[in-house]
Amino acid sequence: MKTLVLGASEKRERYANRAVRMLVSHGYEVIAIGKKAGKIDTVTIQVAFPQEAAVDTVSVYLNPDNQTEYFDKIVKLSPRRVIFNPGSENKAFENHLNKHQIATERACTLVLLSTNQF
């Protein structure tokens, strides 16, 4: 299963960084998207959003003010679900995704992974 982490950062203390590392340690393939190019261990942080990728899950770590540009890009990827991590909850975005039959979850990727519920 491929997971796209939106809001990735090289700063190890950031939850998005921790999520990328934990996803990899659990055997998931990760696409990391951030404002700045870089690396999280073996995963390259990309600035450009992928045009086509077989993504199962998108894990959002951006605050709602920074999400608008991704509404249609994520719909185009057609993931099975989008997880809104704490602080990223966005009812307008959730409604937009639900209209396109994309499931949404308000949850913490780190907790889901830690409890084998991912």
Q: Which of these ranges, 17-31, 44-58, 78-92, 99-113, has the smallest mean pLDDT? A: 44-58
Whole-angstrom distance, CA of residue 6 vs CA of residue 58: 7
The tens digit of pLDDT for each residue in 85-106 reads 999 999 999 999 999 999 999 9
Q: What domains are there in the chain, each with its CATH number?
A: 2-114 (3.40.50.720)
On the question of pLDDT at 53 being above 90, the answer is no
Q: How far is CA 51 from the centre of its chain?
A: 15
Give dist(CA 4, CA 30) in Å, integer: 6
From residue 44, alpha-carbon distances to 21, 41, 96, 100, 117 in Å are 12, 8, 29, 29, 26
CA 48: distance to chain centroid? 14
Residue that has been written with the tokens 């959002």 in this structure = 60
- pTM of the full structure: 0.96
Q: Could you report the per-residue pLDDT of 35-46, keeping only the tens digit for each?
A: 999 999 999 999
Average pLDDT of the residues of the chain: 97
pLDDT grade, residue 31 (50/70/90)? very high
The enclosing H or E element of 76 equals helix 71-77
